[in-house]
Structure 1
């Protein structure tokens, strides 16, 4: 049968054109949906490469401390997958530690270890959450009478202020604006976005309490008034122990602030001892920020929760590092001095100490 009689020539030409176009479309579709070749980079386990000193300089922790920490969080870092080349818990920990100790972009950390940028970002959040979960173990107030007395003696040897359990202050951790309806709540009085973090430290410059959930516009006294540690002092959980704060806090029986205009020698001596003792929290902020520059450079996370996990994680790691610092404390000498002042807290404890203890020191 003659095909030209059944189908006009123009129709046959159009069919040939559609066939050619369909072939080109198939080729383009194949190129578009072609799976990207999976590249497995050589992953560097710097724990085995560096010696003890080089490892501590780059990751801040000692090797033995890193192993102890890894043992506690490895169950949350193990991938439950049948895929090969899963990133080991040790390499995940090293990625997070390197990020904290440099404050650099995640892509630089990923190239340093040999993983993708997306994997490094997820790992930082995963490890931060795991370390932050250990905060109750590493960030805590002394509860036993012997531990409280030892902490007070350590603070006393710094400047001669009795019954001090810790110094309190707040630090602004720079963040990138989270955007949204409540973005301006995070802008502090200095004009940049931050989280206002409350910290209480002891004479070893260890962090005994941390509150890292308040936006930068919050006042220091507001954070303290709504904190759990205030309630614990008010119910007498720590006996007649004292906290020292700056003039931004209210003067309370258990929270002593400096005098605005000291006049008598006893008042001047009180102010000097109060300021010298309180300086330990400022020194803690300086050391903490130098060890973990991610706190001072500023985070680029998109949610406050991720920033909080990094802050708490750095506090846990900082306490692990400071636990290796030794102190020579003479508790017997402190007991002899404080024996006459182990009374219950007074309504105006600051005035009582000035007129009794500091007056007797002149």
Structure 2
């Protein structure tokens, strides 16, 4: 009987990106500066340090870099693993753990303006096109995914014909995301997502004083959510639509910047639904 030679399993050298790349090359590959990665490491690094003392265990900073490389390229995990000298299964485990830790920071960074911030947010929107009392621009964007399979797969197929998660976001005039809902299948309408959100309930209770959101014609016009006039007939309605369109454009640019920085969101996610 022919003996099959035993496969040699060596440990690949892992290069230090901080040493081999200058600031511009580093940011091109990981979408963030070295200082920002170190700041993120200060926030979540203590939860990512390896529990083993093996010499080749992956440090917290390298776990963050592996994750950022995956998010910044939208590539297959095997290609990411080859780039940073780890196996694709390691990339899968690392990215999931790091992204979970980042997501846990959401309450700290993604939140609607409080009473102290409200006036400043409204003022910045007003300076764009003289639209008063705006506290945010709202819209949804489809994030492409692979078919999740199973009997409910078709609910993820959107009106454009591909599988997706329909993500709702609200941003301010600086394109900072203030609210996000990322759990609805692609077939669900934008207005349904908003009506079911906690943000809608807060607005109905008048928690943001006299402020309102700007949405497109996919939403119903309400006292706290203004939409365009569908068939403007007067100069005043034309002026309102122009002001509305150019002010609400912030959310369109916000989604564009987000998908440009993290191409995995535009190319599509190939992970399991829970990870997605």
The verdict on a shared fold, with TM-score over 0.5 as the criterion, is: yes
Residue 277 (str. 1) matches residue 247 (str. 2): yes
Match of 2:275 among 293, 296, 306: 306
Q: TM-score of the superposition, structure 1-length normalised?
A: 0.74
Following TM superposition, by how much is the alpha carbon of 1:84 offset from its aligned partner in structure 2, in angstroms? 3.4
The 2-side partners of 1:47 and 1:224 are apart by: 43
- Ranges in structure 1 where 5+ consecutive residues have no aligned partner: 1-23, 308-362
Divergent runs of 4+, >3 A: none
Identify which of 157, 174, 181 aligns with 1:204. 174
Which secondary structure state, in structure 1, belongs to the residue aligned with residue 182 of structure 2?
strand
Measured against aligned partners, the alpha-carbon deviations of 1:179-198 in whole angstroms (never above 9, x if no partner) come to: 01211110011111000000
Tell me whether 1:227 sits opposite 2:197 in the alignment: yes
User: Could you tell me which residue of structure 2 aligns to residue 73 of structure 1?
Assistant: 44
Q: Distance in 2 between matches of 1:48 and 1:208?
A: 36
**Distance in structure 1 (CA, Å) of the matches to 2:23 and 2:54:** 33
Q: What's the offset of the Cα at 1:212?
A: 0.3
**1:220-247 deviations in whole A, cap 9, x for unaligned?**
0000000011111111211111100011
Residue 294 of structure 1 corresponds to 264
Give the drift of 1:114. 1.0
Question: For 2:174, what is the secondary structure of its paired residue?
Answer: coil
Aligned CA RMSD, in angstroms, stands at 1.5
**Rg bigger for which structure?**
1
8 Å CA contact retained: 1:174, 1:297: yes
Query: Residue deviations 1:152-171, cap 9 Å, x none?
Result: 11111111100001110000
CA distance in 2 between counterparts of 1:158 and 1:100 reads: 32
Report the alpha carbon displacement of residue 82 of structure 1 after superposing the two structures with TM.
Answer: 4.2
TM-score, scaled relative to structure 2: 0.96
Corresponding residue of 1:155 = 125
Of Structure 1 and Structure 2, the greater helix share is in 1
Instruction: Tell me, yes or no, if the aligned pair for 1:45 and 1:113 is still in contact at 8 Å.
Output: no
**Superposed counterparts of 1:10-89, under 5 Å:** 36-89=7-60
Query: What is the CA–CA distance in structure 2 between the aligned matches of 1:144 and 1:66, rounded to whole Å?
Result: 31
* CA–CA separation in structure 2 for the residues paired with 1:104 and 1:273: 40
Q: Residue 164 of structure 1 contacts residue 241 of structure 1 at CA under 8 Å; is this kept in 2? A: yes
Match of 1:237 among 176, 195, 207: 207
Q: Report the number of matched residues.
A: 276
Please say if residues 170 and 197 of structure 1, whose CA atoms lie closer than 8 Å, have aligned partners that are also in contact: yes
Contact 1:172 1:194 in 2 (8 A): yes
